[in-house]
Amino acid sequence: MRFTTLLKNPADWMQGRGPHSDIVMTSRIRLARNLRGWSFPGWSSERQRVDLMNEVRPVVAGLPEMKDGFNEEYPNLTKTKKQVLVERHLVSREHAARSTGCAILIDRRQSLAIMVNEEDHFRMQGIRAGLDLRTAYELVNRVDSELENFLPYAYDSRLGYLTACPTNVGTGMRASAMLHLPALVLTEQIKQVMNAVSKIGLAVRGLYGEGTEALGNLFQVSNQHTLGETESELISRIEGVAEHIVQAENNAREKLLHESPTMLRDQVGRAYATLRFAHILNSKEALTQLSLLRLGADLDLVTECDRGLLDALLLEIQPAHLQLAAQRELSPEERDTRRAEITRQLLKSVPEPLNVSLDSAENAPPPESDDE
């Protein structure tokens, strides 16, 4: 599969609808694996990384799941193309920054991605729509078992799978859920919720993982350690926390509808107006306003709005996607102009937000005075 073909085919997780998919954008399982007898990528020479890549790439490409998939080594990919893969959450930022001795293999549905020579020899990722960690795990676990039949993994009977970073030793698994939490942000409850998540040993990260900002009100929740718990236990823990966060977000949405309807309509209306008529949009503003418009669609304040269109737009307006479409490097000002142009065009079919009265305390008659 060519890179252009990969981009033309929307990923399964972008089109699918899983449990709680109005709030949980994606579920992801990532496995870290290394081969016995080889130095970790960070400690190996360029020649060693190239030798390992050449040995394992045909094995990975030969998996049934990778039939007609995308298979390329990094020296053949431009910086923009690698960044597009980052924006699609198919490779890590750290892996995209590398070149010689690194490769990426992706299945046709973009549900499975295998990075060669990231921090570990393999980073295998399964991604699904909604809160569906177990299906994502089944996919990546099947591939992991197939590879283990052909390749000697670095494994210790007491510690488990050996990894470059000590926090990954054990199962080598990270389970994460990407959550869209605009109501918790608007009601100023997000800090309290995320602090509670951190206190029980889970990590909260931004849109592109560790060290990144929660743009577009998107937050990743994942386990921090992999030693001492089974894969099933880790998944159950993330699922349980995600369910509680989903409930908190739903409660916050109800609170906004019934206690602050005018503010809610104002936020959604301003987002719609900005996206439909602005001629300059930077990334942060665009993602914030798309988040609010998506909230309006979820709450039926914006009718006949395809949420899939908004989710696809989240990708198309990213810097590397814009530059790839333009077939040249764009200045920040050019990207902001082009981003606004694409957004205006794609949202033409979305009707204005409803301007109707909502049942709320705001619309109720004033309470009787106690004064006599």
The DSSP element (H or E) to which 296 belongs, if any, is helix 283-298
**Residue 162 binned pLDDT confidence (cut-offs 50, 70, 90):** very high
Do residues 228 and 171 lie in contact, with contact meaning Cβ atoms separated by under 8 Å? no
CA distances to 148, 180, 288 from 20, in Å: 34, 11, 21
**pLDDT above 90 (res 288):** yes
Q: What is the mean pLDDT of residues 363-368?
A: 46
- The pLDDT score that the predictor gives to residue 358 is 43
Q: 28 near 127, Cβ under 8 Å?
A: yes
- pLDDT-derived band at 50, boundaries 50, 70, 90: very high
| Interval 318-361: pLDDT, tens | 999 999 999 999 999 999 999 999 999 999 989 899 764 444 44
Nearest to 287 by CA among 207, 222, 187: 207
Instruction: Give residue 93's identity as a one-letter amino acid code.
Output: R
Question: What's the chain's average pLDDT?
Answer: 90
Mean pLDDT score, 159-178: 93
Q: Give the DSSP H/E element, type plus range, for residue 70.
A: strand 70-73
pLDDT higher than 60, residue 247:
yes
Per-residue confidence (pLDDT) for residue 210, from 0 to 100: 57
Characterize the bridge pairing of strands 24-33 and 202-205: unpaired
Instruction: Give 202's contacts (C-beta < 8 A, 6+ positions apart).
Output: 221, 222, 223, 224, 237, 238, 241
pLDDT at 297 over 50: yes
Give residue for tokens 């490097």. 329
Dist. CA 268–CA 294, nearest whole Å: 9
d(CA 106, CA 88): 12
Retrieve residue 79's tokens. 């910086």
pLDDT at 31 over 70: yes
For 24, half-sphere exposure in the C-beta direction (CA atoms, 13 angstrom radius) is: 30
Confidence of residue 204 (pLDDT cuts 50, 70, 90): confident
- C-beta of residue 128 within 8 angstroms of C-beta of residue 135: yes
Burial class of residue 61 (count of CB atoms within 10 Å of its CB; 0-12, 13-18, 19+): middle
pLDDT, one tens digit per residue, over 76-92 is: 999 999 999 999 999 99
Question: How far is Cα 26 from Cα 215, in angstroms, rounded to an integer?
Answer: 15
Q: What percentage of the chain has pLDDT greater than the value 90? A: 75
**Nearest CA among 70, 61, 62 for reference residue 88:** 70
Cα-based torsion angle of the residue sequence 232, 237, 238, 239 in order, rounded to the nearest 10 degrees: 80
- Assign 7 a pLDDT band (cuts: 50, 70, 90): confident
The confidence score (pLDDT) of residue 4 equals: 84
In the numeric block, the tokens 């690698």 are attached to 82
Reply yes or no on whether the pLDDT at 103 is more than 50: yes
Task: Tell me the pTM.
Answer: 0.88
CA distance 29 to 125: 6
pLDDT of 205: 80
Does position 62 have pLDDT exceeding 90, yes or no?
yes
For the chain, the straight-line distance linking the first and the last C-alpha, in angstroms and rounded, comes to 80
The arithmetic mean of pLDDT across residues 163-179, rounded, is 93
Domains and their CATH numbers in the chain: 3-254 (3.30.590.10), 260-346 (no CATH)
Structure confidence at residue 372 as a pLDDT band (50, 70, 90): very low
pLDDT value at residue 360: 41
